Amino acid sequence: MPRRVLEGNVISDKADKTITVLVERRYMHPVYKKYIKSSDKYTAHDENNHYSQGDRVSIIECRPLSKRKRWTVVTAGEVKAPKEAVKPAAKKEVVKEATVKKSAAKKTTAKKKGA
């Protein structure tokens, strides 16, 4: 069975090797079709006490480590743009360079025709 991975904000790092993570979810109400926000708090294992309050982290299910601790921190959840979103921006720059070259070529041909 696959392990669940959740992403949330650290709201407490007071305990040793433990952080409390607030995970917020949005889901649609089955009858009223309105979006509802729900939040849950999870205690997660942070071996090196690396994360502090306000950090965005990803946590993954693991074996029970204590009475309430069943999650482990995977990484700091830095928001990264998907690769597809990065590629079009690079293409636009290439297109701009090509149009600059074409416009420069048009200007030189116009000068030759005028002479």
Interatomic CA distance for residues 9 and 20, integer angstroms: 8
pTM reported for the whole predicted model: 0.62
CB within 8 Å of 18: residues ≥ 6 apart: 43, 44, 45, 46, 69
Mean pLDDT score of the chain: 81
Of the candidates 51, 90, 85, 86, the residue with the CA atom closest to the CA atom of residue 71: 51
At residue 82, does pLDDT exceed 50? no
Provide mean pLDDT across the span 68-91.
63
Token pair for 43: 């205690």
Predicted confidence at residue 27, as pLDDT, reads 96
Please determine, for residue 18, whether its predicted confidence score (pLDDT) is greater than 70: yes
Q: According to the model, what pLDDT value does residue 2 have?
A: 85
Q: Does residue 107 carry a pLDDT above 80?
A: no
Q: Average pLDDT for residues 30-38, to the nearest whole number?
A: 97
